[in-house]
Structure 1
């Protein structure tokens, strides 16, 4: 069976949704494991160090998820 453009597009959307969901789920788990609320610390208290840490965490998880899907 030949892969058509529509089949490839559907597969890309499904994998993208799966990757986004997995990244969101890992962020929620990280938020639950920390003794403070990440969003409140970053947005309201302007904790730059924590923002850099969360950004690095998100980038690292994105690379892992992309490698797993690929």
Structure 2
């Protein structure tokens, strides 16, 4: 059993891809928030809009899948 995954370049690459994925996810969420006619965070937290929370959750999952597929290749 080899421990190739412990090499610093592999760990650094994984961390870099994770950071890139999180940044892309965050930017895409901000873009979606800007193009909607209302503030998503205010609507979710203050008005407790469950239907919007489900839609935003599905959007987050789909953006996450797209980012993961783009990074994985």
Q: Tell me whether the two structures share a fold, i.e. TM-score over 0.5.
A: yes
C-alpha distance in structure 1 between counterparts of 2:31 and 2:68, whole Å:
19
C-alpha distance in structure 1 between counterparts of 2:66 and 2:59, whole Å:
11
C-alpha distance in structure 2 between counterparts of 1:68 and 1:7, whole Å:
20
How many residues were matched structurally? 69
Please give the per-residue CA displacement for 1:9-68, whole angstroms capped at 9, x wherever unaligned. Answer: 000000000000000000000000001000000000000000110110000010010000
Question: After TM superposition, where is structure 1 displaced by more than 2 Å over at least 4 residues in a row?
Answer: none
Aligned to 2:9: 7
SS of the residue corresponding to residue 23 of structure 1 reads helix
**TM-score, structure 1 normalization:** 0.93
Q: CA deviation at 1:5?
A: 1.2
Unaligned 5+ runs, structure 2 = none
